[in-house]
Structure 1
Amino acid sequence: VAPGGGQRRAGQGRRWRLSAPPKILLSGVCRKEEKEGEADKIVHEEKSEPSLICPPPRSRSYLPPEDIQSCLESHVKEIFGPSLPDNWQQTPLKENRLKYRLLAQLAAELGHTVPNSQLHLMCSAEDVLNFYSTPVKDASKFEELCAAELPPNLKITWEQ
C-alpha cells in the first residue's frame, strides 16, 4: 500500500532525482567556477579595416565545342540504341539510368556538368543540346569592374 492509501504497481517505486556533480576539467578547475570567471572578463576586439584581397580565380567558364551537336548525337545513339525516334533530338530522357549515363559521359568529356537545380529541366536530348550549346562566362563582378572603363577618379587595385 502506497502512502496516502493508494496501491503501488509493480515497478513503480520512489523516484530519486540525483544532481550530477560539477564537471572537473583536465586542468582541475571546476566548470562552474570557469564560467563565472569568464563572465568577469571583458574582451576588447580591435576593429580593422577590411582588406580587398583578390579572390582566387574560378574555373567554371565553358565554351561549347564546334561539334557539340554531332558529339551529343553520337552519345545519344550509343546510350539509347535502337529505341531512338527519327529525330534524335526528340529522344525522351524518362529513364533515369540512361539519363544519368548520358549526362555523366558528357560532363566527363566536356568538363561541364548540369547543375542539380537544372536536372529536372533535362527532359529530352534537345534540352541537353541547348544546355551544352550555351557558353558560360565566369567573371566575378570585381573582375568585370576591373576590366570596365572606369571614371578617372576611381581605380581598383588588389592586394597581393
Structure 2
Amino acid sequence: MAAFLRHGAFKTGQHLTPEHVLMRSYATKAEKKKGIDRKVGPKIDSTARSLAAKGFLRPQKSYTPSGDVDGRLNSIFHSVLGTSSNSTKLTDLNQKFALLCKCEEALGHGVPNSMLHHLETLKDVRNFFATPVDTTTPYDKLRNIELPENLSVQFEYHRFHPETDTAFGGVTAFPESSTIVTGLRYKDKYPGYKVSE
C-alpha cells in the first residue's frame, strides 16, 4: 500500500478495484499506455503438457495382447456380468472393479488410474486389453531398424581420457577443460580426469 500512496494512487480520488491493484503492481507506465498487462493467470493445463512431453518415459510395463484375448475376455464378461455384449454399460462400480480385477489377473495387464473413467462399456474394456503397450523410447527403437548408409548412431558414447585415447598423443580438443563424471551410475563406467594447472 505504501507504494500506491507514494505514487499518488489515492490522491486522484479514484476507486481502486482488486484488478486495478494487480494491474498497477505488475505493469509499468509504458506498458499501461500501450494496454499491455503482464498478469499471468493460473495455467491449469501445464501439468497435462508436462506429462504429454515425457509420456514415453513413464514407468509402465510393456504389454502384448495374446491371440485369444477376445475369448478370454468373453469368458470373464460372462462370469462377472452374465453377458458379453459390447454395448453393456459399466454403471455399477463394484461390478466394474470386480471385472477389471479379473481381467488383470487373467491377462497380466492392469488399468492405470488415469484410464479408469474412459472404460464405460465392455467395448472400451475390450479395446483397452487388445491394444499393445510399447515402452521402448524412440532412441532405443533406432537399434532395431535398418538405418541409411550415411547415418550412424553411437549408442554407447565415448568420453575422452588422456591415458586411453592416444590417437593424438593424449591431447584433447579442449585442453583446459576437465572431464568430471558426477553421476553415481556412470562413475565406474566412464573415468574422469582433472586438468593439472
Shift of 1:142: 3.0
Q: Do residues 106 (structure 1) and 103 (structure 2) align?
A: yes
Aligned-partner SS, 1:93: coil
> 5+ unaligned residues in a row in structure 2: which ranges?
1-58, 158-185, 190-197
* Residue number in structure 1 paired with 2:91: 94
Q: Do residues 129 (structure 1) and 126 (structure 2) align?
A: yes
Superposed counterparts of 1:24-103, under 5 Å: 60-81=61-82, 84=83, 88-103=85-100
The superposition leaves residues 51-85 of structure 1 with CA deviations (integer Å, 9 ceiling, x where unpaired) of xxxxxxx771111111111111111111113xx4x
Q: Distance in 2 between matches of 1:90 and 1:59?
A: 29
Aligned residues, how many? Answer: 99
Which 4+ runs in 1 deviate beyond 3 A?
145-148, 150-154
Shift of 1:157: 1.0
Shift of 1:118: 0.9
TM-score of the superposition, structure 2-length normalised?
Answer: 0.44
> 5+ unaligned residues in a row in structure 1: which ranges?
1-57
Q: How large is the Cα RMSD of the aligned pairs?
A: 2.3
Shift of 1:145: 3.2
Q: Distance in 2 between matches of 1:128 and 1:104?
A: 12
Q: Distance in 2 between matches of 1:107 and 1:132?
A: 9
* Residue number in structure 2 paired with 1:7: none
- After superposition, the Cα gap between the structure-2 partners of 1:100 and 1:153, relative to the gap in structure 1 and judged at 3 Å, is closer
Q: Do residues 115 (structure 1) and 116 (structure 2) align?
A: no
Equivalent position amino acid for 2:100 in 1: L
Instruction: Choose between structure 1 and 2 for higher RCO, CA contacts under 8 A separated by at least 6 residues.
Output: 1
Equivalent position amino acid for 2:104 in 1: A
* Residue number in structure 1 paired with 2:155: 156
Equivalent position amino acid for 1:103 in 2: L
Shift of 1:153: 5.1
Match for residue 140 of structure 2 among 137, 143, 147: 143
Q: Distance in 2 between matches of 1:76 and 1:136?
A: 22
Deviates further, 125-134 or 66-75: 66-75
Shift of 1:89: 1.5
Find the structure with the greater CA-based Rg: 1
Q: Distance in 1 between matches of 2:125 and 2:70?
A: 10
TM-score of the superposition, structure 1-length normalised?
Answer: 0.54
Aligned-partner SS, 1:90: coil
- After superposition, the Cα gap between the structure-2 partners of 1:100 and 1:155, relative to the gap in structure 1 and judged at 3 Å, is same
